[in-house]
Structure formats: C-alpha cells, structure tokens
Structure 1
Amino acid sequence: MRQNPARRTALLDAAIGVLAEEGSRGLTLRAVDKAAGVPTGTASNYFSNRSQLLGQLMARVQERLAPDPERLARTLEAAPSRELVTALMGQLMERLRADRAGHLAMLELRLEATRRPELAAELGPFLRAEVRELTDFHVHHQLPGGRTGVFLLYLAMLGLIVNELTVPELLAGHPEEELIEALVNRLLAPESPPV
C-alpha cells in the first residue's frame, strides 16, 4: 500500500463525494479514481478493497466535521450554560451546511453498516467512542445536563441533522434556532443555583 498521506486524503475526500452523491452502491475504487481525477487503479494502490476504504472513511469524515479549534476556544470563553450549548449546537448546524457531503457520507456509512457486518463491527465502536468523547467534553467544560442529558441531545441533534439532509421541507416553518434552543432547554436539566 502506498504511503503518500496527501494523496490518501485526496482519495478519501473523493470517496466522501462519491458516497454522498451516489450512495454506497456507487462507491467503487474506480469511481473514487474518477472523482479524484487520478489514473484508474490509483485508489487500489492505497486501499486493498472497498471494505478497507469504507473503514478509513469514518476517520476522515470525523476530521472534516470537527469544529475549528480556534472558534471552539473562543466560544468556550463564555460561562457554562444552556445558552452556550445552544451556540455550540448552532455551530454544528453551520458545519452541516459547510460540509453537507461529509454528513451525507456518514449517514451512508451508517446505512451500509446495516448490510455489512464487518463495517458494523467497526462503526459501532467508532460511534460509541465519538459519543464518549463528546460527553467527556461536555462534562469537562461543566456544561449543563450531565452525561444522560448530552446523550439525549446527541440523539435529538442527529434526528435534526438527518431531517435537514433528507427532507428539509419537514422543518419548514420551524426556525432552526428555535428548535435547537427548545431541544437544549428541554433535554438539559436546569442549572443549579450558585452555591
């Protein structure tokens, strides 16, 4: 297998585009070559098969969807509150719009995992680790709601994201900011009074 990290990343990004546009059935090593604009056979020099490509896509999608560290640090300068969590969830939706293909690719990976036990075996632990990391982040920054609250918020935001990606007209008439604020306020326990 080739070890050029920039080429591997470019191929993974091309695969994310193919996955988002064509779905998992359209994702072949040949389609990745075509989308990346490289000679036929290039992707097979980096990924021994489609399964290996799918496994590596999870980590690349996670990288692409991660918040900008500087913006996150500025946002976290605010006091821990439900308002801060609402702002963080708003930024998540901004990232959705900025990288729709990345979010669609992750949704496709979830669907493909229902048909491929080997992918499910990788995706399950990957997503559990992601949720644990998000929960630890939430608790570390003393945001309201605790572990259960943040897990419920994760599930609710996933539903909002899936609907935004698949049937955005369902959300018409429901301003996103209001939906997010309502989710945060209903799912995260009210803050305790200062001691």
Structure 2
Amino acid sequence: MVRNPERRRQLLDAAVEVLAGHGSRGLTFGAVDRGSGAPAGTASNYFASRDQLVDELAAHVFERLAPDPVETEQRMARPHSRETERDLMNWLVERAMADRAAHLALFELRLEATRNPRLAPAVTRHFAGNLAAATADHVGGGFPGDRSTVLVLYLAMNGLLLEHLTMPDLLGDEEVAGVVDQIVSAIVPAR
C-alpha cells in the first residue's frame, strides 16, 4: 500500500469536491485523480476499492470539518448556557457555509450508505461517532438539557443545514440566523 499521507489527503480532498459536485455516481477513481491533479491510476494505488475510498472519505470529511481547537476552547470557556449553545449553532452554520463542499459530501455519504449495504455500517459508524462526541460535549460539559436535547438539536440543525446548503436562495442568512435562534429556544432548556 502506498504510504504518502499528503497525497492521500489530496486525493480525499478531491473526493470531497467530486462527491459534492457530482454526487455518488460521479465518485470514481478517475474523477478523484483528475480532481487532485494526480496521474491516472493514482487513487486506485491508494484505495483498494471504491468502498475503501468511501469509508476513508467519511472519516476524512469529519476531520476536515472539525472546528479549530483553539477557537473551540475559547467558545467552550463561556458559561454553558442556552446563549452559548445558540452561539455554537450559529458557528456551525458559519463553518458549514465556509466549507460547503464537505457538508454536501456528508449528505451524499448518507445517501451512498442507503444504496450500498456494504458501506452502511462504516458510514453509520462515522456519523454515530460524531453524534456521540457532540452528546458527550453537551452533557459532560454541563449544558442545559440531556441526551435527548442533543439528539433533537442535532436532527434539527442537520435539517436546517440540508435546506440552506442545497437551496441557498430559499432562506437568506438573516432568516437562517432566526431559525437557529428558534431551534435553540425551542429545544435547549433555559436555566
């Protein structure tokens, strides 16, 4: 197996762009090679199969979307209140808009998992890990609410991101901010 981690990252970043721009059917080794500027056949040297590419892509997208740890620490240093939760959800929307392709790739990965039962467990594992981390941060961090609060907030924010990222002209930025405020007010208890 080829062991150039920088090249592997470039291929995975190209795969994110291909998946976001062309959907699951467009995600081929050739498209990834072209998207990364690598010679033909490079992606197939790094990934034994398309399934392996998709599995690694799921992990890569979550790593790519991970927030800056310093900024996260600063935001988490604030009192763990509904207002801080609102700030974190608005920050999530900002980050989603900043890396729209990665978030669109997440939606495509969900669809890919529904169509490919061999991939479903691996892709689901990555999403479950993300939800578990969010739950641990919320509950363990002492934010208002419990596990069900996190689950409903997670589902509501995913729905909002799906609407805003796939149909950006449907809701304007101000309306999205208002919806975030309504979601947090409706779901996260006040203290």
Tell me if TM exceeds 0.5: yes
| Alignment partners' CA distance in 2, 1:176 and 1:18 | 27
- The match for 2:116 is 116
Amino acid in structure 2 at the alignment position of 1:178: G
The Cα of 1:174 is off from its aligned counterpart by 6.0
In the alignment, what sits opposite 1:16? 16
> 163-172 or 128-137: which moved more?
163-172
Q: Give CA deviations for 1:46-82 in whole Å, capped at 9, x if unaligned.
A: 0011111000001110011111111111111211100
* Alpha-carbon distance in structure 2 between the residues aligned to 1:154 and 1:18: 26
Give 1:169 shift. Answer: 3.1
* Residue type of the alignment partner of 2:39: P
Corresponding position of 2:6: 6
SS in 1 for 2:92: helix
Q: Equivalents in 2 of 1:145, 1:170: separation in Å? A: 31
- Which residue does 1:80 correspond to in 2? 80
Question: Equivalent residues in 2 for 1:19-168 (5 A)?
Answer: 19-168=19-168
Task: Report the RMSD for the aligned CA atoms in angstroms.
Answer: 1.2
The Cα of 1:165 is off from its aligned counterpart by 1.4
> 5+ residue gaps in structure 2?
none
In the TM superposition, what whole-angstrom CA distance separates every residue of 1:96-135 from its partner, at most 9, and x where no partner exists? 1110000011111101111100111212222122111110
Measured after TM superposition, the shift of residue 190 of structure 1 is 2.3
Q: Give the 3-state SS of the residue equivalent to 1:43 in structure 2.
A: helix
Unaligned runs of 5+ in 1: none
How far apart, in 2, do the equivalents of 1:38 and 1:121 lie? 30
Using the TM superposition, name which of 126-135 and 56-65 deviates more: 126-135
Alignment partners' CA distance in 2, 1:129 and 1:16: 19
AA matched with 1:68: D
Shift, 1:172, TM fit: 4.1
Distance in 1 separating the partners of 2:81 and 2:26 = 44
In 1: Cα distance, 2:132 partner to 2:178 partner? 27
Q: What is the aligned residue count?
A: 191
TM-score by structure 1 length?
Answer: 0.94
Q: CA separation in 2, counterparts of 1:119 and 1:178?
A: 37
- Percent identity among equivalent residues? 47
